[in-house]
Amino acid sequence: MNIPLTSQLINMCAALLLLIAFAMLSQRRILSLINLFALQGLILAFSTALVAHTSNQHHLYYSAGLTLMLKVLVLPWVLHRLIRKLNIKWDVETMFNIPTIMLVGLALVIFAFNLAAPISQMAGTITKSTLGIAMASVLLSFLMMITRSKAVPQVVGFLAMENGLFFAATSATYGMPMVVELGIALDVLVGMFILGIFFFQIRVAFDSLDLHHMEKLKED
């Protein structure tokens, strides 16, 4: 059976998103981590535009444009400014060694594919085959959040997890309503500015962005 070119491109984008999620999981440099997040956003925007073209869901073009503006341009720019102003060291500290984290990541991917299999059979979208990859990307991003000790990589992991959730919504139901997407985009943007202030407060208080220092706080 011949698979349409657009479907092949969408599947290729899904595979690239999964590879980038693994690359982010193993990345030790904050600057490279932010660049990978921007690349993930670019592929997500391209994939969303392909789904819009194939399914005639025109609202997804707006979603693709919003993703391009927010995830590829605005948020990486904000993160780059933050790491320059905070003078953060480039090395990302992990709670476990990278090979162990990657093995756990592989187990999560297998779990995500098994979990998504029955859901994909019920979905009626052209992107239903990518639902397992979308769920795997979410789980890998969550794993990145909980295995990093610095605040900035954890925030990047949260943003990458939101990318995976958006891709999952696109895979299962051709995306969320536009009003919901605009609300989420505004929440993420405002949240980034609040987190920027939070980073500076942590740096002033502890002279470090390691969140383990906050565990030492005790009530008198």
Residue 145 is predicted with a pLDDT of: 83
Residue 85 is predicted with a pLDDT of: 76
Per-residue tens of pLDDT for the chain, all 220 residues: 456 777 788 888 888 999 999 999 888 888 888 899 999 999 988 988 888 888 787 778 888 888 888 889 888 888 888 787 777 655 666 677 888 889 999 999 999 888 887 776 665 555 567 888 888 988 998 888 888 877 778 788 888 888 888 887 777 666 555 545 555 555 565 566 556 555 555 555 445 545 455 455 444 4
The pair of structure tokens assigned to 128 is 């239903």
Question: In angstroms, rounded to a whole number, what is the distance separating the alpha carbons of residues 200 and 197?
Answer: 5
Residue 183 is predicted with a pLDDT of: 53
Residue 99 is predicted with a pLDDT of: 85
8 Å CB contact between 195 and 155: yes
Name 10's Cβ contacts closer than 8 Å, sequence gap at least 6.
47, 50, 51, 54, 126, 127, 130
CB atoms within 10 A of CB 208: 15
The pair of structure tokens assigned to 217 is 């706080």
Residue 133 is predicted with a pLDDT of: 87
8 Å CB contact between 40 and 17: yes
| Closest CA relative to residue 130, chosen from 73, 173, 100 | 173
| Closest CA relative to residue 164, chosen from 1, 25, 6 | 25
Residue 108 is predicted with a pLDDT of: 92
Q: What is the DSSP letter of 94?
A: B
Q: Rounded to 5 degrees, what are φ and ψ at 207? A: 55, 30
